[in-house]
Structure 1
Amino acid sequence: MNYLYKTRGTCSAEIRFAIAEDDTLEGVEFRGGCDGNLQAIAELVKGQKAETIISKLKGIDCCGRGTSCPDQLAKALEAYLNRKTD
């Protein structure tokens, strides 16, 4: 399934991701932000379970903003998991 998440407090405006039924991230794309770093993050999380990604990325801060692009990815995956259980 493909999902779109509108970010808050980051240079990246949105995150698009594809996730399998077993909660494995198949791919992720960030719109805006630090292109090279976000491409690297996208490659590193590909094939990982959502819960694993959340545990590694949640709470990462960028420049005192209280969030970051990786943190927003964790929030996007949390939102996906919450919708899945509803």
Structure 2
Amino acid sequence: MTDYEFRPRGVCSRIITLSLDDENKIHNLKFQGGCPGNLSAIGRLLEGRDAKEAADILRGNDCAGKGTSCADQLARGLDEILAARKSL
């Protein structure tokens, strides 16, 4: 299992942490900052889910006209992680 941390931009959460196993399944997803109930629910819903599938579902989600959201930022982070893992 590999741990990741990234800083979302343009949203209330400040840090997103998660682990991916060898099959790119999400584990231990946590957000620092943001809406605690909603972001905790996202972490629970995505536990054990395929990272690409999760990113595809969350990508483009908007919060209050910001053009992004914590969920969208997670999708962008997952896209970057998966691209980096693929190039290894």
Q: Same fold (TM over 0.5)?
A: yes
Matches of 1:85 and 1:40 in 2, distance apart?
28
Contiguous gaps of at least 5 residues in structure 1: none
Aligned equivalents of 1:26, 1:5: Cα separation in 2? 15
The equivalent residue for 1:43 is 44
Q: Deviation above 2 Å: which 4+ runs of structure 1?
A: none
TM-score (norm 1): 0.97
> Counterpart of 1:32?
33
> Displacement, 1:26?
1.2
Q: For 1:10-54, what per-residue CA distance to the aligned partner results, in whole angstroms no more than 9, with x for missing partners? A: 000110001101100012000100001100010001110011101
1:1-86 aligned within 5 A: 1-86=2-87
Q: Could you list the per-position Cα deviations for residues 26-84 of structure 1 after superposition, in whole angstroms to 9, with x for gaps in the alignment?
A: 12000100001100010001110011101110000000001000001111110100111
Structure 2 unmatched runs, 5+: none
SS at match of 1:13: strand
Q: What count of residue pairs does the alignment treat as equivalent?
A: 86
Q: Aligned-pair RMSD on alpha carbons? A: 0.6
Instruction: Give, in whole Å, the separation in 1 of the partners of 2:27 and 2:16.
Output: 13
Q: Distance in 1 between matches of 2:23 and 2:82?
A: 11
